[in-house]
Every structure is written in structure tokens, then in C-alpha cells.
């Protein structure tokens, strides 16, 4: 069964307006003092790809051909459409076909507690959603790109005084619900937090796929066996591996599109709010933070790639950092630090900047390069991470990954490239790469090294012969379209 919709990483960041909404975000926070009045701060991200430049005509050509290929990959897949493992202790689903989903309980509250979870397929037995005093739990799931639903399934447990049964219903307006199954008795009532797995057929439900699907679970006392008396206030219920299967359109998108936010007190540097929300290209999302009066520094980081960033969700500003795995070489990572004061409800416009640079190789060989089948790029410099509040932080991560490039060289195309995460720094950082060149039989043809120093938001071009040539002298050329372009020739 397919775990994730197939996505393409080369989506432009074109226009993104996100006014921030906490429905889908975990809050690892120092909650605002209840005695202090909270104010709503809306953040709107400005268009942050409008100053993007191209490096020669071939980049524009590549973009055009990608657009054509993009259309061709719009296909269907059968499998999990939505899936929540909760293993990252966040409400972010592991698999989803469209944005604007949400999970709420007890008249609109956002759950943020987690307990021990259970293994499911190749997902580890990590964490599960845990809710005390549950009256109702509602999953809202848009059905955009969905053509058929087949099954709903999940794992559930409860404490000794928690519910031992539940009713399940669905709606498409969030108001009028139709019962799927009224009584769902736990099979194991004698062991607190014992796993019970339920599945429900959805094939016969008449659904409008242009509308949202709401699934509501309402706990019941149930047959209790040797469990204690049901207590609807103190009893705890856990939900894990919540999944909906069916048929949906493969989305031409990156596997990961997330905006991370961390808000620190400007004086104490304590973390006040943190979380993340996902987005899709062209999707309009609402996003709002509530903070008491005070001075703050907010870090926003947008990640469009095939892997999650390494960002701690707890700790203060001095322990905060951002890192991207080296092998996640197509990652487009934008971010900003913003300082602001809160004295009432307000809205802010935020412009994100590139936290990466583009590394490009242009090969000048006169002869045929068709024998080259693979390039493996190895990082020879220190691990790249960005600690905006602690520039001298010791390296907090390990990363021995490599970039594998599979070029298809011809007379018109003799270039390869990847993105290097750097962060935001006015001081150039040293970069050094070792490149192994292989033929179609996976035999090593040649190894060479290149190095230079650049800031973020630059384009670095290594230009020279790929085969049968030693490393040569470096030549630098700057172009301010991206804040800078640097060319290094090697012979």
C-alpha cells in the first residue's frame, strides 16, 4: 500500500499568503498568563519569490520542461488518503491530499497532549493523541483531489475510568451528523490503555467530494468488565493511527510544505509559542497567534522539500537552531527573524528570505559525456546549521548523508545543481565538496574536489571539465540578482 502521494519537489514558491491559525499546530509553549489579556496578532507573508532570478537561459528552459512534466504526473493512487501517526507529537498528518484539515475536541478546543502509541505498518509505536475528559472528538478532512473513500480505521484505548465504547458519525457541514456505528464496544476492558482496533466501511456512504468530511467520535461508558466506574471528567482516551483510505489524485507538490514558527520573549529569550502548519501552493490559509502585551522576537521558517527540517520545538532562544539534511538537496528554505511589540490586536506583513544558496556545476568538456551516469557529492566542510541567537553554538547534529545526482547529459545540457542550506549570515561560510563520478556500470571514473565561501541567497557556479582534468584556479563573479552569484572555474 502506498504510504504517501507522489510529489514533485520543483514547485515555485510564487505567492503565499498565510494569516496564521493554530488549529493544526502543536504548542510547545510557555502559555500566556491567564491574568494577562491576550491579543490576536495576524501575520501575512508577502510574496517572497518575486525577486528570484535565473542563472542563464538553461534554468528557464528547465522550468518550462518541468511544467510540462508536471501535468503528465497528475495521476491517481489507491491507499491511505489521510493518516495520522502522532509520532512527532503534532496534529500534522503524515499523509494528506489537501490543506485545511483540523482536529478539535469538546466544542472547538485543540488537543495537545500525547501518550504511548502503537505500531502500524512501517510506522513505529511512537505516540498517540491523549485526551482527558473527552466529550467529542472531530476530525475535519477536505476531500479535494479525492474520488472515492473506502475505509476509516484507528486504534483506541482508555484509562481505567475512561470510556469503553463510543459512537461514530459523519457530516459534511459540521452540523448535521449521520451515524456510522452507534455502539463500538472495546474488546479489552480489563487492562487500562489496552489497544482496540476499529475499522468502518465508507464505500456505501453518499458523499459530495467537493465538500469537507467531518468524523465525530463520542465516548460512552460501555460494558466495563473489571474496569472502574466511568468518569467522564477524569477518564482519558487515546487515539492513534487514524487513517482514511480510498482513491485520490497524486499531487504534484513537495512531500513537505511547512511553515514553522517560534516566538520568544525579547527580554528573557524564553520560548512563548511554537508550532508548524502545512500549506499547498496556491492555497490560502488563515493563521493567528494570541500573545499578551510585551516585546517578542519571532522566527518563521518555510520548508518546501522532501524531508522535514531539524528544528527543536522546546527550549529557549540560545538552544534554538535550524538544520537541513545535506541529502535533502532540493530543499527551498525561506525564513526571517521579526521583532515586534504587542499592545493590542494587530496584523503584520512578513517577508521571508532565502536561507539557502544554489550550487551549480557547468561542465565545459568538448567530448561526449554520455558515459557519466551518476555523481555522488560528499560534504567535506563542517555540518551546516543556523543558530540565529547563538552563532558560536557547538554543532548540535550529525549528518553523514550524500547527494546522488543522476544527470542526463547531451549537447544542450551539461549542468547539474543542488541547494545548500546556510541560514542567514552576512559572513561567508566555507563550502568544500568531493565529487565521485561513475559510469553506467557503477564503476568510478574520477574523483575531484571544489571549494569556496559564500553567504546565503547566492548562486555559486563551478565551471570546468568533468573528465580527465585536474582541479584548477578559482575565479569569482558576483551578481546581485540573488544577493550574489559566484563563479569558480576549474580546469
Return the bridge partners of 152, or none: 200, 244
pLDDT at 483: 65
Top-level class of domain 38-47+253-353: mainly beta
- Superfamily of domain covering 77-249: Galactose-binding domain-like (2.60.120.260)
pLDDT at 485: 65
Topology, domain 357-479 = Immunoglobulin-like (2.60.40)
pLDDT at 35: 54
pLDDT at 293: 94
CATH 2.60.40.2100 domain span(s) along the chain:
38-47+253-353
Q: Report which of 253, 242, 212 is spatially closest to residue 5, judged by C-alpha positions.
A: 253
Per the listing, cell 544527470 goes with 407
CATH 2.60.120.260 domain span(s) along the chain:
77-249
pLDDT tens sequence across 370-386: 899 999 999 999 999 99
Q: Rounded distance, CA 23 to CA 288, Å?
A: 10
pLDDT at 93: 83
pLDDT at 52: 35
Q: Rounded distance, CA 472 to CA 475, Å?
A: 10
Burial grade of 221 (CB within 10 A; 0-12, 13-18, 19 or more): middle
Q: Report which of 155, 149, 154 is spatially closest to residue 213, judged by C-alpha positions.
A: 149
pLDDT at 183: 96
* pTM strictly above 0.85: no
pLDDT at 7: 31
pLDDT at 257: 78
Q: Are 225 and 123 in contact (CB under 8 A)?
A: no
Show pLDDT as tens, one digit a residue, over the chain (491 residues): 333 332 333 333 332 333 333 333 444 444 444 456 789 888 877 654 443 333 333 333 333 222 222 333 346 889 999 999 998 887 878 887 765 778 999 998 989 899 999 999 988 898 999 999 999 999 999 887 789 999 999 999 999 999 999 999 999 999 999 999 999 999 999 899 999 999 999 999 999 998 999 999 999 999 998 899 999 999 999 999 999 999 987 654 456 778 889 999 999 999 998 887 776 654 435 577 889 999 999 999 988 888 889 998 788 999 999 999 999 999 999 999 999 999 999 988 888 899 999 999 988 888 889 899 999 999 999 999 999 999 999 999 999 999 999 898 888 788 999 999 999 998 999 999 999 999 888 899 989 999 999 999 999 999 888 886 655 433 444 444 566 666 777 65
Pairing of strands 285-292, 38-45: antiparallel
Q: Rounded distance, CA 263 to CA 271, Å?
A: 6
pLDDT at 314: 80
Burial grade of 17 (CB within 10 A; 0-12, 13-18, 19 or more): middle
pLDDT tens sequence across 96-130: 776 577 899 999 898 989 999 999 998 889 899 99
Amino acid at each position: 500500500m502506498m504510504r504517501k502521494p507522489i510529489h514533485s519537489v520543483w514547485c515555485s514558491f510564487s505567492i503565499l499568503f498565510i494569516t496564521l491559525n493554530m488549529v493544526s499546530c502543536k504548542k510547545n509553549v510557555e502559555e500566556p498568563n491567564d491574568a494577562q489579556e491576550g491579543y490576536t496578532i495576524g501575520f501575512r507573508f508577502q510574496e517572497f519569490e518575486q525577486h528570484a532570478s535565473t542563472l542563464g537561459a538553461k534554468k528557464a528552459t528547465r522550468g518550462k520542461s518541468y511544467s510540462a512534466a508536471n501535468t503528465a504526473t497528475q495521476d491517481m493512487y489507491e491507499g491511505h488518503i489521510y493518516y495520522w501517526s502522532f509520532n512527532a507529537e503534532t496534529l500534522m498528518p503524515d499523509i494528506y491530499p489537501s490543506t485545511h484539515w483540523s482536529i478539535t475536541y469538546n466544542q472547538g478546543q485543540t488537543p495537545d497532549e500525547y501518550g504511548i502509541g502503537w505500531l502500524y505498518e512501517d510506522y513505529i509505536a511512537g505516540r498517540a493523541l491523549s485526551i482527558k475528559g473527552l466529550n467529542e472528538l472531530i476530525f475535519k478532512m477536505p476531500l479535494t483531489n479525492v474520488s472515492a473513500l473506502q475505509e476509516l480505521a484507528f486504534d483506541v484505548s482508555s484509562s481505567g475510568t475512561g470510556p469503553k465504547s463510543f459512537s461514530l458519525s459523519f457530516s459534511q457541514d459540521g452540523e448535521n451528523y449521520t451515524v456510522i456505528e452507534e455502539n463500538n464496544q472495546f474488546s479489552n476492558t480489563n487492562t487500562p490503555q489496552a489497544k482496540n482496533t476499529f475499522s468502518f466501511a465508507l464505500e456505501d456512504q453518499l458523499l459530495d467530494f467537493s465538500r469537507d468530511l467531518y468524523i465525530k467520535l463520542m465516548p460512552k461508558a460501555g460494558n466495563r468488565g473489571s474496569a472502574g466506574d466511568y468518569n467522564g471528567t477524569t477518564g482519558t482516551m487515546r487515539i492513534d493511527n487514524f487513517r482514511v483510505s480510498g482513491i485520490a489524485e497524486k499531487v504534484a507538490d513537495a512531500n513537505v510544505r511547512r511553515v514553522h514558527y517560534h516566538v520568544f520573549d525579547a527580554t528573557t529569550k524564553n520560548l512563548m509559542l511554537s508550532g508548524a502548519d502545512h500549506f499547498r501552493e496556491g492555497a490560502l490559509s488563515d493563521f493567528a497567534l494570541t500573545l499578551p502585551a510585551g516585546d517578542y522576537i519571532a522566527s518563521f521558517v518555510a520548508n518546501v522539500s522532501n524531508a522535514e527540517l531539524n528544528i527543536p520545538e522546546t527550549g529557549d532562544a540560545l538552544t534554538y537552531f535550524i538544520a537541513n539534511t545535506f541529502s535533502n538537496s532540493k530543499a527551498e528554505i525561506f525564513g526571517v527573524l521579526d521583532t515586534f511589540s504587542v499592545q493590542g490586536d494587530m496584523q503584520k506583513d512578513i517577508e521571508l528570505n532565502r536561507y539557502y544558496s544554489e550550487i551549480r556545476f557547468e561542465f565545459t568538456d568538448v567530448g561526449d559525456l554520455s558515459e557519466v551516469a551518476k555523481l555522488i557529492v560528499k560534504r567535506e566542510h563542517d555540518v551546516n546549521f543556523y543558530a540565529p541567537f547563538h552563532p558560536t553554538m557547538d554543532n548540535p547534529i550529525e549528518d553523514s548523508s550524500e547527494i546522488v545526482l543522476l544527470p542526463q547529459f547531451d549537447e544542450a545540457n551539461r549542468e547539474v545543481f543542488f541547494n545548500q542550506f546556510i541560514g542567514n549570515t552576512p559572513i561567508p561560510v566555507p563550502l568544500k565538496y568531493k565529487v565521485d563520478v561513475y559510469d553506467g556500470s557503477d564503476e568510478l571514473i574520477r574523483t575531484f574536489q571544489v571549494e569556496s565561501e559564500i553567504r546565503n541567497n547566492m548562486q555559486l557556479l563551478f565551471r570546468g571539465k568533468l573528465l580527465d582534468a585536474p582541479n584548477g584556479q578559482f575565479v569569482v563573479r558576483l551578481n546581485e540578482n540573488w544577493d550574489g552569484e559566484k563563479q569558480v572555474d576549474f580546469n
